[in-house]
Chains A and B, each alone.
Chain A
């Protein structure tokens, strides 16, 4: 008898039954972590409706949605959110007019034209752009962009629809670029070779074969970009001017404007709990949530269709007939003409209008006389310009904040509490507060998220339950951060009576980053080949042993990357914590998780909007926050690249 045989023979009776029980228990635990996402989204909807319901009975759904006046603090308050809906839609349209051409140009450049070297510079730059916290964008917009608009167009204030659109456009760039770049890169090489072999130029190939083949992916990218723009709070709040009016005339892009998100962000802090106004803000959140849910679910549906197609033969790709294509290009052409017309007629100063018209005129005269080679040169020039503009935007933002922020940084600034409302002194409590919030958030989100991913990938086949869970995760992912803030306030602060404190902030942030953790862990687990699992199971290992010893170890880099990305996101967010966890000024650090804290993003927000004369410390805070988030993201990128290279061998 060998040692092993002896061991197996001596195994106590009943251990099989025990291990079966253990496996079952583990499976149940994972199921609950996965189902948690569904519970959360259900609770969010429940509590929004619970607190928002009174306003619908008071003014009626049509009166609420189509009411023209939003004057909640007037003697006779009026709760009509139509101007806010219009504001949200207008700002979003404006941001897409700016972001879509730029993003698609940049995506084409990165995937089809850039050398590998350029690619290795551009891709991290785009990821960096995605990592900048929205409050830093808002701060930059407030200080630089609105000033620029005010002086360029000689108007009294730069806080306008135009400014909000540009800023949101910039923020949507990384989303649209990276997803459309993915879509373009995944067009099979055969299409490209087939077209080039006929003697089409590279540009003809891109325009007539590659982009049409990637169209559904690009559409999904744009939809997700729209979702990002609609859900954004802090940045838009800081630059839009926030007058609850419909622009007059309706195309006046230099009019101030107010969005649904900004309304919640501005008014939530000062509203008496339980009043009609309070209820109306929850009503606003319901409308906002419904809009973003529809948008995100449609993008998810398109993307999952593409992903399924990818594994099958190319014949399953979505076929776009010429008529549809012509219709789409036609639509875009009219849209472009309308936008240029609005810009030229209303907004731009004379010299700009004249030069734009001149360029268009020259193009129409010359168009038919150009050779395909010349057209390609012009097109590539535009595409390269798009990429340069994207990089330039990043450079300008970084340069502005680094140059102005560096003088503020000192040992005292980093280690002292603020004085004189933050005009002097340091930001030490804010740094520590942010660290507390982030650490707690990740401690909560990581086990839940990893557990959910393990359940989804390892324990189930696709079924109704997994579909429900996945939809829950997608919905959670598309929920605007301000809605998380509202939910945290209504459920944790008030209903569970935790009060405004660190713990509530941690939980709220954890819920917000949960989808990111689940997604990245799922991806990491999917990359582990089935044969490894089979190898382990074939030796008689149990499912849990296989997961713990064979599947999880190689997936750890992926999971760590996801965790770090979540940390970066949580560190930069303002909206979820501003009603749930933070105070503006605090001389001492909290001694328990049931006390409020200071946090960097919120500190920057208040300094920038409410404390005049704090210019140096604003920039200092922005720089510290930016460095913190960028540092975290860089670590994630380095880890990912390191393991990707390793995997390739």
Chain B
């Protein structure tokens, strides 16, 4: 396995009840790059994303076979602690989901649950994370206000800050802009550009322009299968599969 791969799946299958939602998915996610997962609704891209931090564990009647490795370690191995895994693999959700706590407490939540108690250290982490998520200037004067009072775009950047505060290696983003207006979307996209200096980002998106704009690599999924995966430029300009080409050119979707 190459040095630059951080997550890799091989022959990954997932059943939800009787539905075969992921079928023999094998892919490699390169380190410190942005990888986009695209495909029509219900193709399994969000399901695949939720496999990477084992958030599907929460759902009843899910069966998984095959292997997923993070840093060459099987994330389903009995020795793997799911809490540690999720610390390494952060996630930003489709709908911004700040906790009903203050802005400060939202960001401090992660470090706190991982045992940081020192107030100065927490202050430092909160400020750094908020700055990194490009929202510090907007909230620095009202850190003790409810996070629920922020606008949707601010909430989403707060959620990114919250994820950054535990210093993950990988950040999963599940259609992070689908609930946002174009201006907020542009801010998040700029942020993703900055994040890849330090983090691996995997983003699920419905918006092909967005995938083309922000990602280095793209995987196209259809009906639970990974049809094609490669450099974004190559996928968008010279797709190998006809299905991919049809989707990208808008012939279905």
Cβ–Cβ contact A318 & B113, under 8 A: no
Assess whether B100 is interfacial by the CB under 8 Å rule. yes
Cβ–Cβ contact A190 & B93, under 8 A: yes
Assess whether B83 is interfacial by the CB under 8 Å rule. yes
Proximity bits, A298-327, B CB within 8 Å = 1, else 0: 000000000000000011111111100000
Assess whether A372 is interfacial by the CB under 8 Å rule. yes
The chain B residue with its CB closest to the CB of A319 is: B146
Cβ–Cβ contact A195 & B93, under 8 A: no
The interface residues of chain A lying within 8 Å CB-to-CB of B236 are none
**Which of B95, B97, B101, B113 touches A199 (beta carbons < 8 Å)?**
B113
Contact count A vs B, C-beta below 8 Å: 95
Cβ–Cβ contact B100 & A212, under 8 A: yes
Q: How far is the CB of A231 from chain B (nearest CB, A)?
A: 33
**Which of A191, A197, A213 touches B86 (beta carbons < 8 Å)?**
A197
The interface residues of chain B lying within 8 Å CB-to-CB of A321 are 101-102, 144, 146
Bound Cα distance from A4 to B161, whole angstroms: 68
Cβ–Cβ contact A116 & B99, under 8 A: no
Cβ–Cβ contact A198 & B166, under 8 A: yes
Assess whether B87 is interfacial by the CB under 8 Å rule. yes
Q: How far is the CB of A19 from chain B (nearest CB, A)?
A: 49
Cβ–Cβ contact A201 & B113, under 8 A: yes
**Which of B81, B100, B149, B163 touches A198 (beta carbons < 8 Å)?**
B163
Bound Cα distance from A262 to B250, whole angstroms: 77
Bound Cα distance from A201 to B115, whole angstroms: 12
Assess whether B118 is interfacial by the CB under 8 Å rule. no
A320-B100 contact in complex given A190-B93, A198-B162, A204-B113, C-beta closer than 8 Å: yes
Cβ–Cβ contact A191 & B90, under 8 A: no
Cβ–Cβ contact B83 & A188, under 8 A: no
- Residue among B84, B93, B101, B166 with max Cβ neighbours from chain A (10 Å): B101
**Which of A212, A317, A320, A373 touches B83 (beta carbons < 8 Å)?**
A373
Bound Cα distance from A196 to B159, whole angstroms: 13
Cβ–Cβ contact A193 & B55, under 8 A: yes
Assess whether A460 is interfacial by the CB under 8 Å rule. no
Assess whether B53 is interfacial by the CB under 8 Å rule. yes
Q: How far is the CB of B253 from chain A (nearest CB, A)?
A: 27
The chain A residue with its CB closest to the CB of B95 is: A190
Cβ–Cβ contact B58 & A193, under 8 A: yes
Q: How far is the CB of A302 from chain B (nearest CB, A)?
A: 16
Q: How far is the CB of B55 from chain A (nearest CB, A)?
A: 6
Instruction: Report how many residues on chain A are interfacial, defined by Cβ distance under 8 Å.
Output: 30
The interface residues of chain A lying within 8 Å CB-to-CB of B81 are 373
Cβ–Cβ contact B113 & A194, under 8 A: no
Assess whether A397 is interfacial by the CB under 8 Å rule. no
The interface residues of chain B lying within 8 Å CB-to-CB of A200 are 83, 109-110, 113
Q: How far is the CB of B114 from chain A (nearest CB, A)?
A: 7
A197-B109 contact in complex given A321-B144, A372-B83, A373-B81, C-beta closer than 8 Å: no
Assess whether A384 is interfacial by the CB under 8 Å rule. no
Q: How far is the CB of A399 from chain B (nearest CB, A)?
A: 33
Assess whether A547 is interfacial by the CB under 8 Å rule. no
The chain B residue with its CB closest to the CB of A187 is: B100
The chain B residue with its CB closest to the CB of A325 is: B101
**Which of A188, A198, A212, A372 touches B110 (beta carbons < 8 Å)?**
A198
Cβ–Cβ contact A208 & B109, under 8 A: yes
Bound Cα distance from A24 to B103, whole angstroms: 55
Bound Cα distance from A236 to B172, whole angstroms: 57
Cβ–Cβ contact B97 & A194, under 8 A: yes
- Residue among B93, B99, B102, B163 with max Cβ neighbours from chain A (10 Å): B99
**Which of A190, A193, A198, A314 touches B113 (beta carbons < 8 Å)?**
A198
Q: How far is the CB of B154 from chain A (nearest CB, A)?
A: 12
**Which of A201, A213, A372 touches B99 (beta carbons < 8 Å)?**
A213
Assess whether A209 is interfacial by the CB under 8 Å rule. yes
Cβ–Cβ contact B102 & A208, under 8 A: no
**Which of B90, B105, B148 touches A197 (beta carbons < 8 Å)?**
B90
Assess whether B137 is interfacial by the CB under 8 Å rule. no
Q: How far is the CB of B206 from chain A (nearest CB, A)?
A: 19
Cβ–Cβ contact A196 & B146, under 8 A: no
Proximity bits, A485-525, B CB within 8 Å = 1, else 0: 00000000000000000000000000000000000000000
